[in-house]
Amino acid sequence: NAGVTQTPKFQVLKTGQSMTLQCAQDMNHNSMYWYRQDPGMGLRLIYYSASEGTTDKGEVPNGYNVSRLNKREFSLRLESAAPSQTSVYFCASSELGGTGVGQPQHFGDGTRLSIL
């Protein structure tokens, strides 16, 4: 029972490089989310997808793009990485669908990203 799987677990980038963080869930959930976790700032929502085919901005979307490839997969892309994007990134999913922001229920183990 894998739940939410994120790849890679760790990554070091240089400023200006691009990369895509991958996320897949096997629970047939409608909604998926991308968060970043930084000390003193809690978890902040970057983007979410209420259902397959839809994506919406969260609290801190600047510098990121997302793709809901299918119901299982939701990827996060950094087009030109900046040191301020050094963080731990979490993908989450929930069975709640429809419009608006649902409620994350299941989280992946995170991707630890450092931008030099």
Binding site for another protein (CB under 8 A): 4, 39-45, 58-59, 90, 92, 100-101, 103-110
Nearer to another protein, 6 or 85 (CB): 6
Least separation in angstroms between residue 5's CB and another protein is: 11
Nearer to another protein, 36 or 68 (CB): 36
Alpha-carbon distance of 51 to 29, in angstroms, equals 8
Q: Which two tokens stand for residue 84?
A: 């301020």
Least separation in angstroms between residue 80's CB and another protein is: 27
Nearer to another protein, 54 or 103 (CB): 103
Q: Where are the beta strands (DSSP E) in the chain?
A: 4-7, 10-13, 19-25, 31-38, 42-49, 56-57, 64-68, 74-78, 87-94, 106-107, 111-115
